[in-house]
Structure formats: structure tokens, C-alpha cells
Chains A and B, each alone.
Chain A
């Protein structure tokens, strides 16, 4: 008996929604820029899980190729983002995002 027969697709949608909302909560809840980055990764992973679930239930490989591309973009994003974070730390000696309010209206 395979997963597709044992588990309804809605459960995976529900799980992905919960993971995504936890990511949103992390972005709103924390002030440390690194944790906010991690929460963004969490959101990307929730979307990846949903795409994989849809692709498996539909039997179409294209969805999993999209997940592959999202992973590539996430890797590039983390490299540049952490470099920016290190530059910010060098200038303000902190990763608190409340020091970065110069562009705030």
C-alpha cells in the first residue's frame, strides 16, 4: 500500500500551511536577522513540500523539477543574504533589525 492511497492530499496541504505559518510567525516574532533568514527558509521548505506532494499525487515530474529550482535559488539567496548580514554586523556590531530603520518612511 503506497502513501498516495494511505494519506489524503489534504493532510499534506494542511501540514504545509502550518509550516508556512510558523515561518511567517518567525519573521514577525523575532528581531534577530539570522533567525528571520531561517524562517524564510522554513517557508520555502513548506512550499517545496506542497509542490512535491502535488507532483507525487498527480504523477507528474515537473513539480519536482520546480522544487529543484527553488532549492537552487534558496542556496544562492542564503549565500548573498549571509554576506549582507556580515557587512551589517561589521557596521552596527549587531544583527538586530531595528538598527536598520534608515529607509523607514
Chain B
């Protein structure tokens, strides 16, 4: 029973903070709400017995990516006054469109309640099993992702330079 309430709480926090990211006027508040959302998603990972992913999620998203966002927002000196506004008509259209998408996504779930999934190893999220999969079955993609990082790093430095010849 306890787990159910924890799930309700985390789900409420994540949906609420995600909504606040979209509707907040001040970009700094958006970043802070997004960090809150990421922490609640990390809580979901712990609940799902994926402790390694929870740790990596907090370190990479809340630690690295959001600090980058915060730096850029403070560098560009964005605040409520500089925030551009869409017309009410376009906002209404955006709400209708995403609402319809939600209806479709939830509608496809109908009838799936009775489906049964075969049960495998319950400790799949522990570091030992995850490492075994990562370094046995997915060794090549793992190495290729290091090249991706190198390319992203070179690209970011090149774009950030003052003069591009």
C-alpha cells in the first residue's frame, strides 16, 4: 500500500512541475521546476528498482545539463520582461493539439489492462546485470557514443568561437 502512495506522490510532483515548466513566465523558474521534475523521475527509477539509472539521471540531468541551461540563461540575461508572447489564438491551438495527442495516446491503451507480461529477472536494474548487458551485448554502441561526444564537444567549441573563418 505504501508504494502506491509513493507512486501517487511522485507522479503528482512530476506532472505538476512539468506543467509549471511550460507555464512559468521567468526562464530561471522554468529551469528550477525542470530540476524538480527530474528528481521526481529519479524517484520513479528507484521505485522501479533501477538504482544505477536513478544515480546517473541525477548526475547527468540535474547535475550537468540543467547547470548548462542555467548558465546560458544567466549569460543571456533572460527574465520575465524579455520573454516573448504568443497570441492567445496560437496558445489555444497548441492546447487543443496536445490535448488531442493525449486522447490518442490514452485511447491506444484501452484493452491492454488484461495483457500479461512474462516475468524475467527482477534484479535487472542492478549495476551487475546492467554492466553485463552494456559491455557484452552493447559494446560497439557504447564505444560509438564516445565518438558522438567528441563530435559534440568539437561542434560546441567551434560554434562558441567568436569568429568563424
User: Which residues of A come within 8 Å of B, CB atoms?
Assistant: 1-4, 6-15, 17-26, 28-32, 34-35, 37-39, 41-42, 45, 48-49, 52-53, 55-62, 64-65, 67-69, 71-80, 82-87, 89, 94-96, 98
Cα separation A98 to B101 with both chains bound (whole Å): 24
Query: Contact partner of A58 among B64, B82, B97, B120, CB < 8 A?
Result: B120
Query: Contact partner of A24 among B34, B50, B98, B132, CB < 8 A?
Result: B98
Cα separation A64 to B50 with both chains bound (whole Å): 8
Which of B44, B99, B153 is packed against the most chain A CB atoms within 10 Å? B44
Q: Could you tell me if B22 and A64 are in contact, using CB atoms closer than 8 angstroms?
A: no
Interface residues of B, dominant DSSP: helix
Query: Contact partner of B7 among A7, A9, A79, A98, CB < 8 A?
Result: A7
Query: Contact partner of B94 among A18, A28, A82, A83, CB < 8 A?
Result: A28
**Mask: chain B, 12-34; 1 = CB below 8 Å from A; 0 = not:** 00110011011000010011001
Q: B69 — which chain A residues lie within 8 A by C-beta? A: 34, 37-38, 78, 82
Q: Could you tell me if B159 and A25 are in contact, using CB atoms closer than 8 angstroms?
A: no
Q: A55 — which chain B residues lie within 8 A by C-beta? A: 50, 124-125
Q: Report if A18-B97 is in contact (Cβ < 8 Å); known contacts: A10-B113, A39-B22, A72-B145.
A: no
Q: A21 — which chain B residues lie within 8 A by C-beta? A: 98-99, 101-102, 105
Q: Could you tell me if A95 and B65 are in contact, using CB atoms closer than 8 angstroms?
A: no
What is the CB-to-nearest-CB distance from B165 to chain A, in angstroms, rounded to a whole number? 15
Q: Could you tell me if B50 and A29 are in contact, using CB atoms closer than 8 angstroms?
A: no
Query: Contact partner of A86 among B41, B83, B159, CB < 8 A?
Result: B159
